[in-house]
Structure 1
Amino acid sequence: MSAWRVLAALILALACAGCAAVGPDYARPELAAPEGFSEAGDASAVPPALELAAWWRGFGDPELDSLMERAARSNLDLEQARARVAQARATLRSARGGFWPTLDASGEVDRSKDSKNAVEGATYSSGKTSTLYKAGFDASWELDLFGRTRRSVESAEASLEAGREDLHNTLLTLLGDVATSYVSLRSNQSRLAIARATLESQSQTVEVTRARWRAGLVSRLDVTQAESQRAGTEADIPGLELEIKQAMHRLAILLGQAPGALKSELAAVRPLPEPGKAVLATGLPAQLLSRRPDLRASERRLAAASADIGVATAGLYPTFDLTLGLGLQSAGNNTFVSNASRYWSIVPGVTIPIFSGGTTLAAIEQKRAIYDEDLAAYRAAFLTALEDVENALASYYAQTARRVSLAEAARTAEESVSLARERYAKGLVNFLDVLSAQDTRYSAQDSLDQCRADQLTALVALYKALGGGWAAESVVQEEDGGAAGSSPAPRAEAVAAPNP
């Protein structure tokens, strides 16, 4: 009965063990955040659920909408992130299995013959042959008295949550990359159209100048200057065509396709998207901690590191286990299934660490250092997030102001070309003035188009920095049936972009 008493005592200890788990109890660290973004001006309010806002729909470009949706379904980086979530989920199930006993079934037939000289001093007329039949169940259970398993589960749960946030962050990055590549494509198509139109105009100027030179009205210098100007513009075209091809290739890769798969679809020239008219609300800096998935992932990794300290600390404490055996054992197969063949065993055990050469303490110290590293990484990630928002805001407003000036420059440059041609026809200015006016117009138009692209790129970077859009579509299908969070993401509302 003493074994039963020990068993009862161990079960009672297990029932009371829920209140004891060694190692630190994790609490999310408080991070100091500024009261507002220095570059945000008055845009301090935040729209509800920014992560659900399909901000790209505010650009009013159906092609961009389609690319975004297809990328979210087919991107291979997302597939890798989903696989990593599945791995973390399996690790969690494995950790939870530590709460339960292991049960094994076994069966064997042992046929043996004794040696004649098996016992010293004994004499056998012949060796004895025997058969032993055995079948039964063995159960083993390590009692989690000091929380090693609970801390392991806590670490695995936090790691799974971090993996989910990494998946969200991969989607957020993907959306930004698709939008940026699409802006680059449309911008370079527009710049190519400007270059070709300018080249056509310059070619006409060359022909007119040649005709005037043959008539003896101008010098050969005017012809060479016009030809040189045309050649310079012509040299810009291959570079722009290359940029267009590279943007198409990049978009195809982001959609999980071969580089040339979207060529026919994207070859048709479409205008560069325009921002909407609503002013974007940035919210408060502290809200980035809940909106940005990379910060949420970093915080969850910190929680996992804290739990790992408890797992390592449990190595300083005894481990209690219980082994149970139950089955049938008989020397004859005709008596195998009978009450007399039953056997059972109860083996309570305890292992007390006494000396390990400092390895356990070193492991605890290592886990504490990992926690300190992850804490510093969490703080650094938050500062980087603040920098991302400030830089994106500064860039957007700078490009907005620059666009106004360049639009005026392009308008006046167009007027200058008309005036220069008119005055040249009257002999009031030399031909170099006409060429200079044409160069200025081409440069102003090209710069204006680049500025429009830079403004949109800065706007995309701002949405990404604020953590917008990563749950805008039902694309984060990392959960399988029955898992928490398996329901699709809510349908998003389009958020208009700032007015230039």
Structure 2
Amino acid sequence: MTTGRHAGSRAPGSCAQSAPLVLALLLAGCAVGPDYHTPPLSGTEAPQGWHATLPHHGSRMALAHWWEQFHDPVLTQLVEQADATSPTIAQAVGRVREARASVSTNRAALLPQLKGSGSATRQGGFGGSQFAGGAGGLSAGALNPTLGLGTITTLGAQADASWEIDLFGGKRRSLEGADARLTASEADWHDARVSLAAEVANTYLQQRECEALVDIGAATLSSRQETLQLTERKFRAGFVAPADFAQAQATVGDAVNALEGQRAQCAQGIDKLVALTGLDHDALNGLLSKASAQIPAPPDPGVPDVPAQVLSQRPDVSSAERAVAGASADALASYRSKVRQAVQEVEDALVRLDASERRVDAATMADAQYAKVLEASNARYRLGAGSLLQLEDVRRTALQASQSLAAVKLERAQAWVALYKAVGGGWRDDAPNPHPDHKTTAPTAQGRTHTGSAS
């Protein structure tokens, strides 16, 4: 009986000793916040299908290195040169490194902490003196037989290890938030590269259009100079009035004025390409001279029919979604705003592309026909069957047709660039990684890898 009572008296003590452990395990299940899931999108934010006309019934787009599909080696070289030297890209890489350091710091907070300290002292005294080592120390004495003096060295070392249990999961949630911010910074890095490639491509296309307009202006000036020479001969022979001769001179002046203005605009375009690529003027002019005044024709693009497939490829949308994973309700509102903006940009690009395709066909036909009319009017004027006023009117219309054709070709190419930018097109998986020693890979146009348990 006594034994039984003694055994029974130990049971409450055992429960009391194990109670803190049980309580800790129960509280560990109450981690801070629920697991993260990607926010759902409403039909307004990501509709089921595009309203604009899809080229080629929505065939799949080749997003990676889309500028190569122009088959223009100069454009390809300029985009790659800008990506390699851009300060904007370098700043984005710096933000990725900062985010990576934050992940490392938060990950270290989950590991045991080891602290250590050490000390060393040296003391001297007279021979025959006795020294005692301090607690936790190691002492050694050495006497000098000549002077009768001695020295003693005392060394001390101490180490402490501690591990704070992440009882409520706050540190782990901090790590997940830091990892989400790292992935967002990677998406921002990719977004900077996509935007830079689109800006270089648009600037290059504008430069090619400018060169085409210079050629058109030079041809117009040459034609008007020939007309002026013919009119001057007629005037001196008394076949035309002085007003016709003055008008012919005025049209040459107008052509020179327009041509010089166009050349100045092209010079400004060169300056912008220099700023974007880091090339000097001589090197850039050498590149552009390989195919002067040629506006590259874009390939036939395709767009997936489901908006969600497209929006998931945009790095800015991915960055906003990762910000939601690591932040607050404000980030959720920003994410939904990014998605709506993405839908609008894709729709606008599709409308521009569809309209520009039809306009190029119409402008090409108009330019060819007005060229024939101008040729016939020139022949009539040489034979004296037409007036200078009629000839200049036809020439003005033909000039406008040629300029319109160049402009609509530029519009078509830029609409194509805008579409690829809108869907997040950019670099392949083998693009340079700004943080090769981290396991999270850089986002690309074809896919993204996220690290952490927040997704």
Q: Which category describes the TM-score, using the shorter chain as reference length?
A: 0.7 to 0.9
2:273 to 232, 243, 251: 251
**Given that residues 63 and 446 in structure 2 are in contact (C-alpha distance below 8 angstroms), is that contact kept between their aligned partners in structure 1?**
no
Aligned to 1:142, what secondary structure does the other structure show?
A: coil
Aligned to 1:437: 394
Question: Which aligned pairs between 1:119-130 and structure 2 lie closer than 5 A?
Answer: none
Deviations 1:98-127 (A, max 9, x none): 11232221134799xxxxxxxxxxxxxxxx
RMSD after superposition: 3.1
Give the deviation of 1:419 after TM superposition.
2.2
The answer to whether the aligner puts 1:55 opposite 2:66 as a matched pair is yes
Change (3 A) 1:200 1:178: same
The answer to whether the aligner puts 1:419 opposite 2:371 as a matched pair is no
Give the deviation of 1:433 after TM superposition.
0.2
**Given that residues 40 and 393 in structure 1 are in contact (C-alpha distance below 8 angstroms), is that contact kept between their aligned partners in structure 2?**
yes
Aligned to 2:95: 84
* Structure 2 gap segments, 5+ residues each: 1-14, 123-132, 138-155, 448-455
Change (3 A) 1:73 1:143: same
Change (3 A) 1:488 1:481: farther
Deviations 1:181-233 (A, max 9, x none): 11111111111111111111111111111111111111111111112212212
The answer to whether the aligner puts 1:477 opposite 2:444 as a matched pair is no
Question: Which aligned pairs between 1:337-416 and structure 2 lie closer than 5 A?
Answer: 371-416=328-373
Give the deviation of 1:247 after TM superposition.
2.4
Aligned to 1:237: 259
Of residues 80-89 and 133-142 in structure 1, the stretch that sits farther from structure 2 once superposed is 133-142
Aligned to 1:127: none
Aligned to 1:274: 297
Deviations 1:300-324 (A, max 9, x none): 001001xxxxxxxxxxxxxxxxxxx
- In 2, the alpha carbon distance for the partners of 1:396 and 1:93 equals 46
Aligned to 1:262, what secondary structure does the other structure show?
A: helix
- In 2, the alpha carbon distance for the partners of 1:488 and 1:285 equals 18
What TM-score, normalized to structure 2?
A: 0.80
Aligned to 2:164, what secondary structure does the other structure show?
A: strand
- In 2, the alpha carbon distance for the partners of 1:466 and 1:485 equals 20
Deviations 1:64-116 (A, max 9, x none): 122222223222211211111111001000011111232221134799xxxxx
1:72 to 78, 83, 96: 83
Aligned to 2:440, what secondary structure does the other structure show?
A: coil
Alignment-mate amino acid for residue 199 of structure 1: L
**Given that residues 427 and 444 in structure 2 are in contact (C-alpha distance below 8 angstroms), is that contact kept between their aligned partners in structure 1?**
no
**Given that residues 433 and 441 in structure 2 are in contact (C-alpha distance below 8 angstroms), is that contact kept between their aligned partners in structure 1?**
no
- In 2, the alpha carbon distance for the partners of 1:302 and 1:46 equals 32
1:222 to 244, 261, 267: 244
Aligned to 1:284: 306
Which 4+ runs in 1 deviate beyond 6 A?
5-17, 486-491
The answer to whether the aligner puts 1:31 opposite 2:41 as a matched pair is yes
Deviations 1:354-387 (A, max 9, x none): xxxxxxxxxxxxxxxxx22211111111111111
Give the deviation of 1:175 after TM superposition.
1.4
**Given that residues 353 and 415 in structure 2 are in contact (C-alpha distance below 8 angstroms), is that contact kept between their aligned partners in structure 1?**
yes
1:460 to 414, 417, 430: 417
Change (3 A) 1:171 1:221: same
What TM-score, normalized to structure 1?
A: 0.73
Change (3 A) 1:224 1:173: same
**Given that residues 166 and 293 in structure 1 are in contact (C-alpha distance below 8 angstroms), is that contact kept between their aligned partners in structure 2?**
yes
Change (3 A) 1:473 1:218: farther
Give the number of aligned pairs. Answer: 402
Aligned to 2:184, what secondary structure does the other structure show?
A: helix
2:108 to 92, 97, 104: 97
Aligned to 2:103, what secondary structure does the other structure show?
A: helix
Alignment-mate amino acid for residue 256 of structure 2: E
Change (3 A) 1:99 1:9: farther
**Given that residues 21 and 146 in structure 1 are in contact (C-alpha distance below 8 angstroms), is that contact kept between their aligned partners in structure 2?**
yes
Aligned to 1:104, what secondary structure does the other structure show?
A: strand
- In 1, the alpha carbon distance for the partners of 2:435 and 2:197 equals 21
Change (3 A) 1:259 1:300: farther
Give the deviation of 1:418 after TM superposition.
2.0
**Given that residues 67 and 255 in structure 1 are in contact (C-alpha distance below 8 angstroms), is that contact kept between their aligned partners in structure 2?**
yes
- In 2, the alpha carbon distance for the partners of 1:188 and 1:454 equals 13
- In 2, the alpha carbon distance for the partners of 1:289 and 1:10 equals 50
Report % sequence identity.
31
Of residues 240-249 and 446-455 in structure 1, the stretch that sits farther from structure 2 once superposed is 240-249
Change (3 A) 1:439 1:78: same
- In 1, the alpha carbon distance for the partners of 2:313 and 2:440 equals 20
**Given that residues 55 and 354 in structure 2 are in contact (C-alpha distance below 8 angstroms), is that contact kept between their aligned partners in structure 1?**
no
Give the deviation of 1:263 after TM superposition.
3.0
- In 1, the alpha carbon distance for the partners of 2:278 and 2:110 equals 42
- In 2, the alpha carbon distance for the partners of 1:246 and 1:157 equals 43
